[in-house]
Amino acid sequence: LQQQRESAERIRQLLRERNAALVAHYYVDGALQDLARETGGCVGDSLEMARFGSEHAATTLIVAGVRFMGETAKILSPEKTVLMPDGDATCSLDLGCPADEFSRFCDAHPDRTVVVYANTSAAVKARADWVVTSSVGQDIVAALHARGEKILWAPDRHLGSHIQRQTGADMLLWQGSCIVHDEFKADELQALADAHPEAAILVHPESPASVAALADVVGSTTQLIAAVGRLPTQTFIVATDQGILHDMRKRHPDKTFLAAPTAGSGASCKSCAFCPWMAMNSLAGVEQTLLHGHGAIELDATLARAARKPIERMLQFAA
Site for ligand SF4, rule CB under 6 A: 66, 91-93, 119, 178-180, 206, 241, 275, 277-278
Q: Does 134 contact ligand 13P by CB under 6 A?
A: yes
CB of 281 to ligand 13P, least distance (A): 13
Q: Which is nearer to ligand SF4, 75 or 275 (CB)?
A: 275
Q: Which is nearer to ligand SF4, 191 or 279 (CB)?
A: 279
Question: At CB < 8 A and 24+ separation, what contacts does 229-233 make?
Answer: 231/200, 233/198, 233/199, 233/200
Q: Which is nearer to ligand 13P, 183 or 206 (CB)?
A: 206
Give the strand pairing for 130-132 and 113-117. Answer: parallel
179 binds, among ligand 13P, ligand SF4, none (CB under 5 to 8 A by kind): ligand SF4
Alpha-carbon distance 222 to 294, whole Å?
Answer: 29
Give 156's strand partners. 176
Q: Which is nearer to ligand SF4, 52 or 277 (CB)?
A: 277
Q: Does 46 contact ligand 13P by CB under 6 A?
A: yes
Q: Does 163 contact ligand 13P by CB under 6 A?
A: no
Query: What part of residues 189-208 is at the interface with ligand 13P (CB under 6 A)?
Result: 206
CB of 13 to ligand SF4, least distance (A): 30
3-state secondary structure 255-305: CEEEECCCCCCCCCCCCCCCCCCHHHCCHHHHHHHHHHCCCECCCCHHHHH
Q: Does 119 contact ligand 13P by CB under 6 A?
A: yes
46 binds, among ligand SF4, ligand 13P, none (CB under 5 to 8 A by kind): ligand 13P
Give 259's strand partners. 238
The helix (H) or strand (E) run that includes residue 21 is: strand 20-25
Q: Which is nearer to ligand SF4, 132 or 275 (CB)?
A: 275
133 binds, among ligand SF4, ligand 13P, none (CB under 5 to 8 A by kind): ligand 13P
Q: Does 221 contact ligand 13P by CB under 6 A?
A: yes
Q: Does 45 contact ligand 13P by CB under 6 A?
A: yes
Residues 278, 222, 303, CA angle at the centre, nearest 5°? 60
DSSP string, 189-258: HHHHHHH-TT-EEEE-TTS-HHHHTT-SEE--HHHHHHHHHHS--SEEEEES-TTHHHHHHHH-TTSEEE
Nearest to 245 by CA among 235, 257, 260, 228: 257
CB of 84 to ligand 13P, least distance (A): 15
The helix (H) or strand (E) run that includes residue 92 is: helix 92-95
Kindly tell me which residue out of 33, 60, 133, 282 binds ligand 13P, with binding defined by CB under 6 A: 133
Q: Which is nearer to ligand SF4, 45 or 188 (CB)?
A: 45
134 binds, among ligand 13P, ligand SF4, none (CB under 5 to 8 A by kind): ligand 13P
Rounded to 5 degrees, what are φ and ψ at 250? -65, -45
CB of 97 to ligand SF4, least distance (A): 11
Alpha-carbon distance 303 to 315, whole Å?
Answer: 19
What is the binding site for ligand 13P (CB under 6 A)? Answer: 45-46, 119, 133-134, 178, 206, 220-221
